[in-house]
């Protein structure tokens, strides 16, 4: 699989490594330089005193998500990282730093190939969610043999699959598998809950602590939906991208953030238009949801720290949670946009990329407003479109039916339906208060496509973007000037976006695995002009390596306060040892 999916990753010499070789010091330094350093500095001083104290506890809980996540990626990951940290040579240090960026000994930007000797050549597709020797066929055969209730557990978010002493597959709940870490994390959440004065945060933290110990996340997911606090907290097992084998299992992560009050108010406006967008989606009317849940909440926040699944490789700029279809049907989902992360990406990456990929006349159409608004629209459209597949009486979900392809299809759907939504609002003159117009929207999206493709083919967003680029080039909506630059044909763009949205939404509504596979297969090789320009962007950073300066200083000041006289703690977390 890796040979196929690596087709359009950056062709740095190091991606061509034979499995027996790993990058040397100079190569590794170059690999790490693809992540531009960005300080995540947030003004926590304006938080109420109780919230500031709670935040210190939450940072400790959040760091435990790093530990669980690393184990989920690979059972030997924690021990391998500990060993990597003990190597103090220049090469050893470089490996340790790059390890921390990837949270694993495989380079995400290079199709998850190994950069450390003595580890498997590629990241295990099923992480440690399944026995290392279990195939998809074995799982599916076993699944058929189970009673319905156990089938639900086996394919559920919060269980791992193990072998019993007889070698038979068996189901183990997360709260048993990760019991030691989850008990500590639950304790920190309870302490934080006692410190904050915000009732909705108190409630979420208490219920989430309980969920860590029971794997019943429903009540705390609902409380997270209702969370409305200056200190915005997301912590738990959420996204299933780490499970590349079957796409069922959730990886642990945390985002501890400060709410951006002004932006949140401004963007709530869009939420009021979601039913209208759903009603106009370019899909057969029977697939539309005539009554979306109550207006889904939107938060614009600034990130203090992200951990676990939220802190490896290409960094999250926005997310849409929860993923539990049951909660989504009843409560909708909430969008959280990490504004300081998005701003850093725009300035450090998209600006230099645009200078090379956009035709000179299009340069002035690059706009942070358009960039930010499209990401917002992307997140909002995750919440609309088909969330149920009704197939001959059997009720299922697009996620369950599209399995490993769901991530890429859903990301492409959100990109394309996001553009469809903004075009619809522009046509109705409903974007008057914003600086977004057709020209800067599509031109910024074009430049941004190059940015996404540079994430590599291991990433669901990168795969999703490859589908879009192939389609839009074919339809003449993206045009190559022949000198390596590109521009948008606005007239063709509108129709092409509408048609592609139709195709993606229909694949999801029908749970059509075969068509999804055909789309992925067709996008495996990029149009040659695109590929050529993409290869000329190698020296521009691909993404960020955030330095959580506010979190580090808060955690450190707390440590010093707790142990008078010990200004420099002996055992510092990995981030604190970095220069
Ligand atoms: Zn998305």
Q: Got the DSSP string for 405-418?
A: GHHHHHHHHHHHHH
According to the model, what pLDDT value does residue 266 have? 66
Tell me the CATH number at 236.
3.30.540.30
Those residues whose C-beta lies under 8 Å from the C-beta of residue 150, and which sit 6 or more positions away, are 171
In a domain, 44, yes or no: yes
CA distance 348 to 355: 12
- Return the pLDDT at 430: 87
Distances (CA, A) of 332 to 102, 122, 323, 324, 383: 32, 37, 10, 10, 7
Q: Ligand 1 centroid to 414 CA: how many Å?
A: 6
381 C-alpha to ligand 1 centroid (Å): 9
Ligand 1 centre to CA of 307 (Å) is 18
> Do 190 and 326 belong together in one domain?
yes
Q: Is residue 32 part of a domain?
A: no
Instruction: Tell me the per-residue pLDDT of 84-104, one tens digit each, with 9 for 90 and over.
Output: 999 999 999 999 999 999 999
Distance (Å, rounded) from C-alpha 196 to C-alpha 199?
Answer: 8
Residues 467 and 552 in one domain: no
CB 253 within 8 A of CB 238: yes
Shared domain for 409 and 533, answered yes or no, is yes
Is residue 507 included in any domain, yes or no?
yes
Q: What's the rounded mean pLDDT across residues 178-198?
A: 98
pLDDT tens digits, 474-497? 999 999 999 999 999 989 999 999
Tokens (6 digits) for 227: 């969370």
CA atoms within 13 A on the CB side of 123: 29
Residue 439 has pLDDT above 70, yes or no: yes
- β-sheet bridge partners, residue 394: 391
H or E, element range at 268: helix 261-271
* Ligand 1 center–CA 21 separation, angstroms: 34
Tens-digit pLDDT profile for residues 222-270: 999 999 999 999 999 999 999 999 999 999 999 999 998 777 766 777 8
What's the gap in Å between 337 CA and the centre of ligand 1? Answer: 11
**What pLDDT does 20 receive?**
58
Of the pLDDT bands very low, low, confident and very high (cuts 50, 70, 90), residue 415 is: very high
Q: How far apart are CA 472 and CA 446, in angstroms?
A: 10
- 118 domain-assigned: no
Tens of pLDDT, residue by residue over 20-58, are 589 999 999 999 999 999 999 999 988 999 999 999 999
Nearest 10 degrees: Cα torsion 282, 284, 285, 289: -80
Residue 169: phi and psi, rounded to 5, are -70, 145
pLDDT at 565: 41
Give the Cα separation of 236 and 252 in Å (integer). 5
Q: Read off the tokens for 400.
A: 């369950």
357 and 376 in a common domain = yes
Can you give the residue range of the structural domain that contains 138?
Answer: 38-74+124-259+296-332+542-571
Å from CA of 448 to ligand 1 middle: 14
Answer yes or no: are the C-beta atoms of 316 and 210 closer than 8 Å.
no
**CA of residue 411 to ligand 1 center, whole Å:** 5
| pLDDT the model gives residue 179 | 98
Average confidence (pLDDT) over 166-171: 97
Cα of 310 to ligand 1 centre, how many Å? 13
Q: Is residue 208 part of a domain?
A: yes
Q: How far is the CA of 129 from the centre of ligand 1 (A)?
A: 23
Which of 90, 95, 87, 75 shows the shortest CA–CA distance to 28?
95
The Cβ-side half-sphere exposure at 435, using a 13 Å CA radius, reads 10
Evaluate if residue 564 carries a pLDDT over 60.
no
| Cβ-based neighbour number of residue 86 at 10 Å | 8
Burial class (CB in 10 A: 0-12, 13-18, 19+), 41: middle
Measure 405 CA to ligand 1 centroid, in angstroms: 14
Residue 163 CA to ligand 1 centre (angstroms):
34
CA-to-CA distance for 366 and 439, rounded, in angstroms? Answer: 9
For the chain, the domain total comes to 2
In the predicted model, is pLDDT for residue 571 greater than 60? no
Q: Are residues 327 and 394 in the same domain?
A: no
pLDDT at residue 15 greater than cutoff 60: no
Q: How far apart are CA 5 and CA 518, in angstroms?
A: 14
Tell how far the Cα of 135 is from the centroid of ligand 1, in angstroms.
28
| 275 part of a folded domain | no
d(CA 382, ligand 1 centre) in Å: 7
- In this structure, is residue 7 part of a structural domain? no
What does the pLDDT look like over 379-413, one tens digit per residue?
889 888 988 888 667 789 999 999 999 999 999 99
Regarding whether 478 and 526 lie in a shared domain, the answer is yes
* Residue 21 domain-assigned (yes or no): no
Report the candidate in 332, 511, 527, 351 with the shortest Cα–Cα distance to residue 447: 351
Tell me whether the omega of the peptide bond preceding residue 322 falls within 30 degrees of 0, making it cis: yes
Q: Is 170 left (phi over 0), alpha (psi -120 to 50) or beta?
A: beta
Structural contact between residues 407 and 241, judged by C-beta atoms closer than 8 angstroms: yes
State in Å: Cα 165 to ligand 1 middle. 40
Residue 567: strand, helix, or coil: coil
Mean pLDDT in the chain? Answer: 89
Q: Positive or negative, the Cα torsion across 484, 490, 491, 492? A: positive
Strand partners, 398: none
Mark whether 377 and 321 lie in a shared domain: no
Displacement of CA 484 from its chain's centroid (Å) = 30
With tokens 């933290």, the residue in question is 205
Q: Compute, in angstroms, the gap from residue 319 CA to the centroid of ligand 1.
A: 6
Q: Report how far ligand 1's centroid is from the alpha carbon of 177 (Å).
A: 29
Regarding whether 323 and 376 lie in a shared domain, the answer is no
Whether residue 307 is found in the same domain as residue 412: no
Whole-number Å distance, alpha carbon 407 to ligand 1 midpoint, is: 9
548 pLDDT more than 60: yes
Same domain, yes or no: 352 and 434: yes
What count of other Cβ atoms lies within 10 Å of the Cβ of residue 148?
6
Whole-angstrom Cα distance, residue 160 to residue 154?
Answer: 8
Q: 279 C-alpha to center of ligand 1: Å?
A: 21
Which residues make up the environment of ion ligand 1, defined by Cβ < 5 Å?
411, 414
Closest CA to 551 of 63, 9, 26, 18: 63
Same domain, 474 and 546: no
Are 426 and 489 in the same domain? yes
């Amino acid at each position: 699989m890796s040979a196929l999916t690596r087709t359009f990753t950056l062709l740095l010499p190091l991606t061509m490594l034979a499995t027996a070789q790993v990058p040397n010091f100079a190569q590794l330094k170059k690999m790490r330089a693809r992540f531009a350093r960005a300080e995540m500095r947030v003004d926590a001083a304006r938080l109420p005193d109780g919230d500031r104290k709670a935040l210190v506890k939450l940072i400790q809980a959040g760091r435990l998500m790093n530990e669980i996540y690393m184990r989920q990626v690979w059972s030997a990951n924690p021990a391998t990282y500990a060993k990597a940290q003990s190597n103090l040579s220049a090469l050893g240090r470089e490996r340790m730093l790059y390890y921390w960026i990837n949270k694993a000994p495989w380079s995400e930007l290079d199709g998850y190939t190994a950069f450390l000797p003595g580890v498997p050549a590629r990241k295990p597709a099923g992480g440690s969610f399944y026995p290392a020797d279990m195939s998809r066929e074995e799982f599916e055969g076993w699944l058929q043999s189970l009673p319905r209730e156990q089938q639900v557990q086996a394919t559920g978010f919060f269980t791992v699959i193990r072998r019993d002493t007889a070698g038979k597959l068996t189901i183990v709940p997360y709260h048993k598998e990760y019991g030691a870490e989850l008990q500590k994390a639950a304790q920190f959440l309870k302490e934080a809950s006692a410190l904050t004065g915000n009732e909705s945060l108190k409630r979420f933290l208490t219920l989430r602590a309980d969920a860590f110990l029971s794997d019943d996340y429903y009540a705390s997911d609902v409380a997270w939906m209702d969370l409305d606090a200056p200190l915005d907290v997301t912590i738990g097992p959420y996204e299933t991208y780490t499970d590349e084998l079957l796409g069922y299992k959730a990886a642990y992560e945390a985002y501890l953030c400060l709410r951006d009050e002004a932006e949140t108010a401004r963007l709530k406006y869009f939420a009021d238009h979601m039913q209208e967008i759903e009603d106009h989606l370019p899909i057969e009317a029977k697939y539309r949801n005539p009554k979306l849940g109550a207006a889904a909440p939107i938060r614009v926040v600034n990130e203090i720290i992200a951990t676990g699944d939220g802190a490896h490789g290409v960094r999250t700029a926005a997310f849409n949670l929860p993923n539990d279809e049951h909660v989504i049907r009843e409560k909708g989902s909430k969008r959280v946009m990490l504004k300081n992360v998005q701003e850093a990406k725009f300035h450090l990456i998209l600006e230099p990329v645009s200078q090379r990929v956009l035709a000179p006349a299009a340069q002035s159409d690059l706009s942070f407003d358009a960039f930010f608004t499209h990401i917002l629209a992307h997140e909002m459209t995750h919440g609309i479109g088909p969330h149920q597949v009704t197939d001959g009486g059997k009720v299922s979900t697009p996620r369950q039916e599209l399995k490993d392809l769901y991530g890429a299809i859903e990301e492409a759907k959100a990109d394309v339906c996001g553009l469809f939504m903004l075009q619809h609002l522009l046509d109705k003159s409903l974007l008057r208060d914003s600086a977004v117009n057709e020209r800067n929207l599509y031109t910024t999206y074009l430049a941004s496509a190059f940015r996404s493709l540079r994430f590599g083919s291991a990433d669901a967003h990168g795969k999703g973007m490859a589908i879009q680029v192939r389609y839009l080039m074919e339809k003449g909506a993206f045009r190559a000037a022949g000198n390596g630059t590109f521009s948008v044909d606005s007239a063709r763009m509108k129709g092409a976006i509408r048609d592609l949205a139709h195709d993606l939404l229909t694949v999801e509504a029908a749970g059509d695995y075969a068509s999804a596979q055909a789309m992925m297969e067709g996008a495996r090789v990029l149009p040659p002009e695109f590929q050529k320009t993409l290869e000329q962007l190698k020296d521009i950073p691909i993404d960020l390596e955030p330095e959580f300066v506010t979190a580090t200083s808060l955690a450190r000041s707390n440590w010093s306060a707790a142990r008078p006289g010990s200004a420099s703690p002996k055992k510092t977390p990995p981030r604190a040892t970095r220069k």
